Structure 1
């Protein structure tokens, strides 16, 4: 089963700023962002002491001036020459649908997809199928593994070298234990039989064939 980890699209009120018009009117983008932030979310000013308690002061527009989409036409931004410029002179607004939360991965817009392998299938098989589906995505859309899937892919590529190092370490430990270079070979030859038995048992019982 595969499912996206996100929120359903909701109506959003989007304001488009014409930067060329704003610059021609002497209004900076920083002042526009400051005005929008203060009007909708409030802006911290300072602290004051009230009956022995420190309280914060925020400036924010009254609710009646930000209730309707057309109210944005009544907002003003101070230009570089000191004149007040209305928002309607350099902006336009519209409604659209979109996710209320923007996910990013490695600095790029992304969507997290969660899933698990079907019963009787290994995570490796499920990941290979996901990679086949992801290869059919449009140009400019990519994918990357995270979490346990990333660790599984990373460890899977290192499996041959890890097995080789493990065999060498085990052989040296057995050689030191038995003080012989020949006895460890006979001991280690039993390992393949144990591995084959474990694989056969997992296969006949329908268990997942992976290290996780």
Structure 2
């Protein structure tokens, strides 16, 4: 895909959704960190249902650490892999309290040192909480990038590096949200909704699907 076509795609995404936001509910960097950690292999909807009950009770590192693993489990037991996630979140809270005064560090290395926090989670926190031009690549973004041929790669790291290279600076902060929302609601895995896609004419996917097919 050439640069002119990419620019038009990004311009359409921006015109359609000038201020894209994550669908996870949060009101602080800490709440976002917890929500993103819980969202691994789970839907944002399921995470929001749990955190809508958790955060009014405990939304700081100290409060969740005080809940403990068993206490946290009671709030997140409807989320997949909740046992391991509870352990990781409480351990992460302990580290935040000991090393960062209970605050979420605006630092990739420090974030990735937290239990349950990998590169993707760190990218989401840096981008969404702190406004960094990072691009967190999940299965949706990987699919959209490869399917459209916007930024092709054999794995999520390759796709991330390609996106960082080809996306102009003015779009970098928001492109993560545009691509994930596009993959979640339009360019879905099994049967993409090409007939209602705002970039259908620019997409280079050869097997486009339309409602009457």
When normalised by structure 2's length, the TM-score is: 0.21
| Bigger share in strand | 1
Name which one, 1 or 2, has greater alpha-carbon Rg. 1
State the structure with bigger RCO (CA 8 A, min sep 6), 1 or 2.
Answer: 1
When normalised by structure 1's length, the TM-score is: 0.21
